[in-house]
Each structure stands twice: as C-alpha cells, then as structure tokens.
Structure 1
Amino acid sequence: MNSNNVILSAKDVVVEFDVRDRVLTAIRNVSIDMIEGEVLALVGESGSGKSVLTRAFTGMLETNGRVASGSITYRGRELTDVTSDKEWESIRGSKIATIFQDPMTSLNPIVTIGKQIVEVIVKHQGKTKEEAKEMAVDYMEKVGIPEASKRFNEYPFQYSGGMRQRIVIAIALACRPDILICDEPTTALDVTIQAQIIDLLKSLQKEYHFTTIFITHDLGVVAAIADKVAVMYAGEVIEYGTVEEIFYDPRHPYTWSLLSSLPQLADESGSLFSIPGTPPSLYTPLKGDAFALRSDYAMKIDFEEHPPAFSVSDTHWAKTWLLHPDAPVVDKPEAIQDLHEKIKQKMLAQK
C-alpha cells in the first residue's frame, strides 16, 4: 500500500463515554486506513461502534464522550488535537461531510430547501447568493429532484422521504468534501427507493471522486457499493478485506454469521438465520474473543486470549484463533458456501 494514498488514518483509537458514574468503552483499539477515492463499508450489528467511530472523525461525539487514546489523522493533520468548534468548522463539512440516517433530523423544517443548500455553498465555496442559487438548482438536478427550479422554495415537509434524502446528499455535495460519511442513509427508505439512492451515490462518487465511508448493517448494500469492508463487533474491527474477500472468503465466525443472515438465503418458509445471544457489555474489559460466547466455533483459547490480526492476503486479515497454524481446520457454514451461486439461483427462482 502506498502511504501517499491514505487520506484518513486511525491508529489504536479508543473512544470512551462516561455513563452514570461508569466508563463505557465504545471503540477498542481500532486501526484503519482510508484510501483516497475508495468506498469503505463499515458493517456490523447495531451497537458495534460503526457510527461512534466515524463521529470521532468529525468531532461529533456526545459531550460525555472522548477519544481516550490513539491517533486520527486527516492528510497528516492530527484530529485528536482539534478541540474547539471553531477549529472543527474548517474540517467538518468542508473536508469530511456526513449524510445521516434520518433526513428530517438533518434538514431545518422551517427553512426552504433552496435556502438550506445556498447557505452551505456560500459558506464552503465562497460564492455570492446569486451564484449559489444557480449552483443549488444544479445540485438538486444532479441528485434527481424533478423540476428543481420550481421546488427550490418548498419546505422539507413537501418532499417525500426519498426526496429529502436526496436533498441531504445535495447539501453534502455542496460542501465539496474530500470524505463523505454515509451513516445508514437508506435504512428509513423502502427497498425501491433504497436502490435508487445507492445508484445515485455510486454515480456521484464516480463523478466527484470523493472517498466514501458507508455505514450499514445490510450486507446486500455492501455488495453493491463497496471496494473494501471492515466488519465491526463490540467496538472493534474483527475482519477487513476487499468486498470480494469478505463475501467469498470470510474467515471470522462473526462474518460467517452476518453473511448467513442475508435475506437472499431465507429458506422456503421465509425463515432467516439469526445470531444467538447478545453482544457483550462494554462497561467491563473484554477477555479473549468478544464473539466467543455466541460462536459455535469457539475454542478454549477464545475465552482466554484476545486474538491478533492474522493475515489472509495483502488486503485481508481477521482476528480469530481459527487462523492460527495450530488451530483445527474448520469449514465455514454450509449456508454461505458457494454464496454467489446460491444468491444467483434464488434470484432466478424469484423471476
């Protein structure tokens, strides 16, 4: 890997929150590099730390949270040294922008759509209001708003959920960011609109060449948009690789479980695989592999020692003792063997 292509780098990041006189460790020693122009998907169950990690990148942790240790650098600048909102203003939005899950919480309900886009263009691109208005209409058209000039003066409540999400994307684009964080931007939308938003993000990423972090629990979305995938569990990245490696050569039992839960793998009755048990408490230090208690593949060592990152290839690693040279040979679950062929056959059967 050419380090010159790394735009954002996290090294041994620990994020803690003070909750009722106790300390909750939400992110545990995460190290990850964002390569310029790539799409990285962060996947995992709710509460695995995906959103908290990216909020640390933009200084948007809640007031009871902090980066307790580790380093986060953007183009060589140490972001953990940035403390004031004024300093963050030069980074948040203009350098690293975020699209959130619910567009209604991102849009001001009493300000027109057009004015909200214009304000961003004036602030981040230094344009006059007249120039910004013309650009705002252009951004609205780019994200697929029909009759954009006529809808410029409408309010968010006059837009559907899918259209509001398109406006949130337009506002993010108007910031002209280097990095775009998409925090489950399709979760609140129906399946058809989800597909449209995914296609829109793909086309915009290709046109504007921004680096993307896509947060999701939907591995079907990952297959459609990502270059690289980081699988998170209990505040830690437990497997990392290209999208092909994660889908067709996964190595961690947790990744196996996530893939086994794909809707495309439901049986004839519509029943889906579900991961037994619940994630561990993050109030106390974790011993061994955090997934061990929920895994059918756990060995004695999984309850005693934390697994290191074992290399599978130059682009793929996983934190599981199953990759140790002395570990027994274990096949991944039958449900995800020949995954590509099974999904293909399921799709053909539905036609």
Structure 2
Amino acid sequence: MSDEKEPILKIDDLSVHFHVRGKTLKAIHHVSMDLYKGEVLAIVGESGSGKSVLTKSFTGMLEENGEIAGGTIVYKGKHLEKLTKDKQWEGIRGNEIATIFQDPMTSLDPIRTIGSQIAEVVVKHQGKSKAEAKQIAIELMNRTGIPNAAARYNEYPFEYSGGMRQRIVIAVALACRPDILICDEPTTALDVTIQAQILDLIKSLQKEDGFTTIFITHDLGVVASIADRIAVMYSGRIIEYGTCDEIFYDPRHPYTWSLLSSLPQLAQKGGQLYSIPGTPPSLYKDIVGDAFAPRDPWAMKVDFKADPPFFKVSDTHYAKTWLLDPRAPKTEKPKLIQNLHERMAATVAESHLENLDLALNANKEDDADGE
C-alpha cells in the first residue's frame, strides 16, 4: 500500500467475534487494510468469508451478539471501534458512509412510494424542505436512470423491476452525499445485462460525485472493469491484495488461483465449470496454519503448522502464502489461468460470434416467414 497519501479509512488488526449459544465465532481475524479517497476497492471471497461482516463494522451495523474484539477502525481521525450506541453513529452512518445492499426489497418500504422514501433521506441528511427534497429526489431518480422520473415519483416498489429497484436504492444512498459508498453484492440478483448497467452506473456516479467505493462480491469477474485494488478474503482473513491487474494477471495465493479458475468466462464449451474442492473451516475453532491448507493442492507441511506472514510481491501487492518463502519449491499457477487476458478476450469474442450467429439465424427465419 502506498505511503504517499493518507487513507480516508484505516483498519488495523481488526477482529470481530459473535457469541452464539455459548460459543464464540471468530468472523474477522486480525484484518488490516487502508482505503484511499476516490478509489474503488473490491473485497472478494466465497460466501461466509467475512466480507459483509467486515464492512458492517465500519457503520456500526453488527448484530447484537457481535462485537469488535480487537483492533482499530479510523475514519478521518475518528476511532469508529469506540462507538457503541446508535446515537454516536448518527453523523457517520448514511451521512459519511452509506451502504447499498444485495436485495433492494429489504431496503425499501413496500407500502410507501418510491419518491417519498428518497425525499425523506434528503430532508434528514441535507436539511431541505419537503418541496426541495421532492425536486432533489426526482433529480436523483433521473441521474440513476429512472425514465419519466417525475411521473414515477408516486409509484410503489412492486411497480419497479429488480434493476430499477436497485437504481432507487443507489439514489437513496446518494441522497446522503456519502464520502464512502459500500456496495454489498448489489448485482447478485440481477441478470447479466442489468448487472453491467448497474456497474456502469456506479462507476459514472463515482466520477461525478468523487465518493470512494468498497465493492463486495464473490465473483472476481464482476469487478474486473471497475476495481482499482482488490482484497481477497478467506475464512475471515485477507490473504492477498493488490491492484486489479496484479490480482488478475499475477496472483500468488492458491485461493486466488482457485477463485480465478472459477470464472464462468473460462468454462470450456460443453465442459464443467471449475469449483473449489472441500469446504471452508469452522470459525468456531482455532485454525492452525494456513486456513486454506486443507483445500489447497499445493499445500506443504508448513501450511498445516504455521500461519504464513504477508510476503511482498511489489509495492502494491502482498500475499499471505508460504509459496512465496524463498525456501519454498517453485510453483506455477494453474494452466487454466495462465495467459488469462488472452483467454478471457478469446472467450468474449467467441460469445459475441455466437450471439451474432443467433441474431442472423433469427433474421433468416423472419425472412422465410415473410415469404
């Protein structure tokens, strides 16, 4: 990570625990990371790896049985880990750090109109009158791509498609004018075409408003076009981080190799999509060694005995794997992700050709019907 500029958000040695039926679940394990103003940081990993729990700790949204067990979260010089009451979070949550969640229907009130829900946020966070808030709400609806926004102001969430509801949730978040926008799997429930539109929308809005983005996803392919840096999480730990190009084209941790191998774009036609064998370890138990070792075909004896440190690959790229120790045997990444750039480009080109063939065949059938 660069030392040339001060991070807007600094997490140092953070641990988060949950108390469940007399047991302690260690959801986040000694995580450290920096977030810099204006960047897009993607946090990537399987379900249950701790991505959402980590970012919930930035906004005081942990469940009642959760606690910050150690470490610090510093935002603009303020220690967020010390805030324990909702009243203390009022100036931060929404105002400074806002979140877009995976399912827009859990964020929107189904019995209130779309426009009133945006306007309410404008009144609360911007101190505007109701009339001013309505106008700002319509402007936000326009900015997020809602057609005929003024006419649709008084419609209800059920009258909107899934993609349109997600645009409204983005509008609600922007009404807070946040410094940091956390996007928690905002495209998971959407089809590929709408997913791409939402990603482009977030990217263009960030350029216009200058906010900083944390993007949470289980799919590395989703963030390929928008992320500046990527942090890979496994079992409550960050195990590799670097620039987008470094993670895609020079990954060093076997878990990152596995995530990249799982990209749908790399599936062979008629073949099976790669899946990571085994299951993540229980977070109720203390993990000895590298948490990924039981699922790692490249694991060495040391991986089961000692937790690896972060090894420096470049000034911006670090990976937590014993494979980078000078004493480790030389290991090549899987063939499936070698020359990844060329493989993905070829797959995209093949997909375009298939779509073109389908379109041409459809036109021929239409012409035949016309005769």
For this structure pair, what is the TM-score category when the shorter chain's length is used for normalisation? over 0.9
Q: In the aligned structure 1, how far is the partner of 2:349 from the partner of 2:223?
A: 21
User: Which AA in structure 2 matches 1:87?
Assistant: Q
User: Which AA in structure 2 matches 1:170?
Assistant: A
Q: In the aligned structure 2, how far is the partner of 1:151 from the partner of 1:6?
A: 40
Q: In the aligned structure 2, how far is the partner of 1:270 from the partner of 1:154?
A: 45
Structure 2: any 5+ residue segments left out of the alignment? 354-371
User: Which AA in structure 1 matches 2:164?
Assistant: M
Deviations 1:220-254 (A, max 9, x none): 11101100000000000000000000000000000
SS of the residue 2:280 aligns to: coil
SS of the residue 1:165 aligns to: helix
Q: Does 1:60 align with 2:61?
A: yes
Structure 1 segment 12-91 matched on structure 2, within 5 A: 12-91=13-92
Alignment correspondent of 1:92: 93
Deviations 1:66-85 (A, max 9, x none): 00100001111000111110
Give the drift of 1:5: 3.2
Q: Does 1:114 align with 2:115?
A: yes
SS of the residue 2:307 aligns to: coil
SS of the residue 1:68 aligns to: strand
Alignment correspondent of 2:141: 140
Alignment correspondent of 1:319: 320
Alignment correspondent of 2:217: 216
Give the drift of 1:270: 3.9
User: Which AA in structure 1 matches 2:91?
Assistant: S
Structure 1 segment 194-343 matched on structure 2, within 5 A: 194-343=195-344
Q: Does 1:183 align with 2:184?
A: yes
Alignment correspondent of 2:12: 11
Structure 1: any 5+ residue segments left out of the alignment? none
Q: In the aligned structure 2, how far is the partner of 1:192 from the partner of 1:346?
A: 17
* TM-score, normalised by the number of residues in structure 2: 0.94
Between Structure 1 and Structure 2, how many residues are aligned?
A: 351
Give the drift of 1:168: 0.2
Give the drift of 1:3: 6.1
Alignment correspondent of 2:357: none
* TM-score, normalised by the number of residues in structure 1: 0.99
User: Which AA in structure 2 matches 1:27?
Assistant: I
Give the drift of 1:4: 4.3
User: Which AA in structure 1 matches 2:292?
Assistant: F
Q: In the aligned structure 1, how far is the partner of 2:228 from the partner of 2:111?
A: 39
Deviates more, 1:173-182 or 1:120-129: 120-129
Percent of counterpart pairs with the same letter? Answer: 68
Give the drift of 1:268: 2.1
Q: Runs (4+) of structure 1 moved beyond 6 Å?
A: none
Q: In the aligned structure 2, how far is the partner of 1:3 from the partner of 1:99?
A: 30
Q: In the aligned structure 2, how far is the partner of 1:305 from the partner of 1:17?
A: 25
Give the drift of 1:218: 1.2
Give the alignment's Cα RMSD to 1 decimal. 0.8
Q: In the aligned structure 2, how far is the partner of 1:115 from the partner of 1:2?
A: 44
Deviations 1:35-63 (A, max 9, x none): 11000000000000000000000000000
Alignment correspondent of 1:150: 151
Q: In the aligned structure 2, how far is the partner of 1:126 from the partner of 1:65?
A: 33
